[in-house]
């Protein structure tokens, strides 16, 4: 691939996944062990597996799942600008909507970002 060639959609998706893992690790102290990004039209979906820290797992296993989910919502609010900037950097399009959620068992999360129209 020449240095002037645009990255493939697979390369863009991998770059977004890799950066999402790094951002989550930076904010929570631990990144997910699996991440996959799917780009479909104006939507970017980042699915994450094995996201919880040891402390969050202990809290959840001792009846505090709601507290863990509330903490994750707060992390997502704080991480939102960094995740949106990453997606914008890799897609070349601004993020106009951002939805995010986590689930305890199984330990999964999803980030859904809607991009501005591409003009086509």
Residue 3 falls within a domain, yes or no?
no
Please give the residue range of the domain that contains residue 47. 9-115
Residue 2 falls within a domain, yes or no?
no
Confidence of residue 45 (pLDDT cuts 50, 70, 90): very high
pLDDT value, residue 2: 47
Confidence of residue 6 (pLDDT cuts 50, 70, 90): confident
pLDDT digits (tens, 9 = 90+) for 48-101: 999 999 999 999 999 999 999 999 999 999 999 999 999 999 999 999 999 999
Q: Is the pLDDT of residue 3 over 70?
A: no
Pairing state between β 43-49 and 95-103 = unpaired
Residue 68 falls within a domain, yes or no?
yes
Residue 1 exposed, middle or buried by CB count within 10 Å (0-12, 13-18, 19+): exposed
The vertex-30 CA angle with 29 and 35, nearest 5°, equals: 140
Residue 46 falls within a domain, yes or no?
yes
C-alpha 18/C-alpha 118 separation (Å) is 24
For the chain, what is the domain count? Answer: 1
Mean pLDDT of the chain: 94
Q: Is the pLDDT of residue 42 over 60?
A: yes
Tokens of residue 25, six digits? 């690790």
pLDDT value, residue 1: 46
Residue 1 falls within a domain, yes or no?
no
Confidence of residue 119 (pLDDT cuts 50, 70, 90): confident
């Amino acid at each position: 691939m020449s240095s002037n060639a645009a990255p493939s959609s697979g390369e863009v998706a991998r770059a977004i996944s890799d950066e999402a893992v790094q951002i989550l690790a930076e904010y929570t102290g631990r990144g997910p062990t699996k991440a996959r990004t799917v780009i479909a039209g104006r939507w970017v979906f980042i699915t994450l597996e094995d996201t919880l820290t040891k402390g969050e797992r202990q809290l959840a296993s001792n009846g505090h799942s709601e507290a863990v989910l509330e903490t994750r919502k707060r992390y997502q609010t704080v991480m939102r600008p960094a995740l949106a900037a990453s997606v914008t950097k890799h897609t070349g399009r601004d993020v106009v909507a951002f939805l995010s959620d986590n689930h305890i068992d199984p330990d999964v999360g999803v980030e859904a970002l809607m991009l501005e129209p591409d003009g086509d």
